[in-house]
Amino acid sequence: MAFEQFRLPDLGEGLPDAEIVRWLVEVGDPITVNQPIAEVETAKALVEVPSPLAGVLATRHAEAGETVEVGRPLVTVDTGGETSGGPLASVPGTVPEADRGPADLPDGRTPVLVGYGPRDRSGPSRARTHRRGGQVGTPGAIHGTTTPTNTSVTVTTTPVTTTPATTRVSQQPDQPERRSRRVAVLAKPPVRKLARDLGVDLQAIIGTGPHGTISRADVESARRSASGHRATRTHLVPVTGVRRAIAEAMVTSAFNAPQVTEFVSVDVTRTLAARDRIAALPEFSGVKVTPLLFIAKALLTAVRRHPMVNSSWEDPVGDEPAQIAVHEYVNLGIAVAAPRGLVVPNIPDAGELGLVALAHALHDLTVTARAGKLTPQALRGGTITITNIGVFGVDIGTPILNPPEAAILALGAIRPMPWVHEGELAVRTVAQLALTFDHRIVDGELGAKVLTDVARMLTDPTVILALS
């Protein structure tokens, strides 16, 4: 085995660091030259970083959410005894300088590392330009620029007083001032958007961040100064990590699937009595038996009777039409309010579990989730979900699908309520259920059958035995 490090390159404009947004590969995964391995955010943009090495990923030197300085190790790759680019060992973190032409990729593009731009094959390699005879030159960056194959690009090396050197795409004749202004300001895209929304000129702000980077606080301070306000009642919370993932999933869900929700009220008095009797059995010792166990068992039984509700929509690919993937197993997702936000781990093959095993699985899943110790595998592959919003005192709500699943069942608060029981008005323990489903897959009739089946089993738990 031979191990080589790939260091974070300068991703453009001499920026000093980048934040790891997410990894695209796991330790142990095989990787190839120019395969994207991480998505990072600089003060300029969100970009993917491709690997100049081929082999097996041995180590990731930072986690998602951490900031890595340019030149610091990003990954270590087991190259199997062969380097992928020769000169890479002597110039860590740069593109291997082997001769490459337009035929290096099937579509005729020249493979390059993000931030370095296409090579000018008529001149010297930019990655090997160094300080000579008083001239300053370092690896440059063409950031956010795509070049058609029939368009020539001129790369020039220009001395700059604030950094050792920068390399730029030659200016368009009619836009010299605009390009200069973009280069002068160091601010991340969210900060630029905030400045636009508040009407603040970034050129008038002196950044207090590293290397003069302008932060949100700088923009807000400028806004207050301009308006004469000494304080503000608004504070901004960065959308990162789990919260960003939740936001992306919910937007995908809301805009990709037509969603319908149906509701039903259920007398669960008998179910709670059965819960008390079951909790006293020795098989359930050490496990907290909650109404969620009966909800889960009822939903799993309903899925067995109506398998189409346990499916997902697959968009057309190429000439292939759209398809509905009907799952013959049930990976039951349980929405949990964890320390870092809402997560939906699932119980694999939950439909094959008996009541005792299901109770233990639910207990272990919720304990692990609330401790923040879930593995990525536990969050993947769910086929249908339950969300218990009743624990927060909410009677009921309209749940949103957990993509790509076709259905989600919500349980509301369980309360004593007036109810007509056996022809008489009585106080009974009542809960409300809401089933949201993808109307491309599940029509109103099927949704109603699933929901009424669950309601019947919660009204009388012995029905579970009859329908299983």
Q: Quick check: is 439 catalytic? A: yes
Residue with tokens 């993509």: 403
The DSSP call for residue 82 is -
Q: What is the pLDDT of residue 13?
A: 52
C-alpha span between 349 and 383 (Å, rounded): 10
Catalytic residue among 61, 306, 360, 439: 439
Amino acid at the residue 44? K
Q: What is the pLDDT of residue 267?
A: 97
DSSP H helices, 149-215, are 176-184, 189-198
pLDDT in the model for residue 81: 59
pLDDT in tens, the chain (468 residues): 789 999 998 876 566 788 888 899 999 999 999 999 998 876 555 678 999 999 999 999 998 878 888 889 999 999 985 444 443 333 333 344 333 333 344 444 433 444 444 334 344 433 333 333 433 333 333 333 333 333 333 333 334 333 333 333 333 334 444 433 344 578 887 788 788 888 888 888 888 887 788 888 888 888 877 766 546 567 777 776 567 777 888 888 988 899 999 999 999 999 999 999 999 999 998 898 999 999 999 999 999 999 999 999 999 988 889 999 999 999 999 999 877 678 899 999 999 999 999 999 999 999 998 887 877 788 889 999 999 999 999 999 999 999 999 999 999 999 999 999 999 999 999 999 999 999 999 999 999 999 999 999 999 999 998 888
Structure token pair of residue 259: 């969603």
Cβ neighbours for 164, distance < 8 A, ≥ 6 positions apart = 131, 136, 138
Measured in residues, the chain has a length of 468
Report which DSSP code applies to 164: S
Give the distance from CA 114 to its chain's centroid.
22
Q: Is the dihedral of CA 223, 229, 234, 235 positive or negative?
A: positive
Q: Which residue has the tokens 């937007």?
A: 251
Query: Six-digit token pair at 467?
Result: 């329908």
Using DSSP's 3-state secondary structure scheme, residue 47 falls into: strand
Sorted by where each starts, the structural domains of the chain and their CATH numbers stand as 1-168 (2.40.50.100), 185-227 (4.10.320.10), 243-467 (3.30.559.10)
Strands (E), 293-334: 311-314, 323-326, 332-334
Dist CA 138 CA 140 (whole Å): 6
* Residues 405 and 331 sit within 8 Å (Cβ to Cβ): no
